[in-house]
Amino acid sequence: MAQAGINPHFHDPHEVPSIEELGVEYLGGGEWQLPEGAEIESLSGDDWLLTLADGTEYRLWSEESTIGVGAEDLLDIVFSNVSPEELKNLSLEEIRAALAAANEEFGIKGRNLSAEEIEAAASDIFYLNQETKPYEDAGRWWQDEKIKLIKKGGSTYALHGWTGSEYAECWKCGGDLATEAIGSYTITPVYRDIGDDDTEAEIIDYHVVENM
């Protein structure tokens, strides 16, 4: 069953009740269960205007998009503060931070995205903004064919010490032939879902952190 959210309309956003408190439930297919005397009308897309028996109005929406509830409004807020060209040049972490900040601002009005929805939106934006991958496959480590190399930000790294979610024992490949192990890094793959049921994913980037 689709979920529904609520946004204040013509009154203080800090005093907005929940859907349950209003006695409203979205049944799917454009059908609503409403309290006695209430009326509802479609505004656009998944947005609806609820008018209670006392004349109080609220804007409702159903969760039917692939990114999540309020995604279009959230991205509108981001683009109102960051131009598309600037957003295009941001890293995945910076895009995620911009979405999180907009989400917090919009949440004050009674509507926001979950952490999973923010991550999906950030990954989608980042992936679509890339003409090429932000990293390159760089072959294998000369002493061990099982160790994959990637090139990112002008440096080559060896991926080693897989924990199930990250490579915790990586190093930078230095020297004229990139055969010297330099430093210690944790490198985490960044994924994007490509299957309809979230069971398939592809690596779109790697997050590199130097171990201290």
Asked if 93 and 158 sit in the same domain, the reply is no
- Verify that 53 and 100 share a domain, yes or no: no
Q: Examine the domain organization and report whether 117 and 144 are in the same domain.
A: no
Q: What is the pLDDT of residue 3?
A: 45
Mean pLDDT of successive 10-residue stretches along the chain, which has 212 residues: 48 60 74 87 70 81 40 58 61 81 63 71 72 79 95 90 95 91 94 70 87 88
- Same domain, yes or no, for 21 and 80? no
State whether 25 and 80 are in the same domain. Answer: no
Q: Is 12 exposed, middle or buried (0-12, 13-18, 19+ CB in 10 A)?
A: exposed
- Token reading at 197: 């049921």
Question: 198 and 140: one domain?
Answer: yes
pLDDT of residue 79: 59
One domain, residues 146 and 198: yes
- Residue ranges making up the domain that contains 50: 4-62
| Residue after which a domain boundary falls, among 106, 129, 152 | 129
Domain co-membership, 191 together with 142 = yes
- Cα 117 to its chain centre, rounded Å, is 5
Residue 166 and residue 182 in one domain: yes
**The pLDDT of residue 19:** 74
| Residue 123 sits in the same domain as residue 140 | no
Torsion sign across C-alpha atoms 69, 71, 76, 79: positive
As for how many domains the chain has, the answer is: 3
Residues 110 and 18: their CA atoms lie apart, in Å, by: 9
Q: Give which of 50, 10, 7 is closest to 26, Cα–Cα.
A: 50
| Structural contact between residues 3 and 69, judged by C-beta atoms closer than 8 angstroms | yes
- The last residue of one of the domains, among 62, 81, 110, is 62
Looking at the fold, whether 52 and 80 belong to one and the same domain comes out as no
Cβ atoms of 73 and 59 within 8 Å: the answer is: no
Same domain (yes/no): 190, 151: yes
Task: Please name the residue ranges forming H helices in 19-68.
Answer: 19-22
Q: What is the edge-to-edge ordering of all strands in the sheet holding 57-62?
A: 4-8, 57-62, 47-51, 39-44
Domain final residue pick, 109, 129, 149: 129
Q: Looking only at Cα atoms, what is the longest distance across the chain?
A: 78
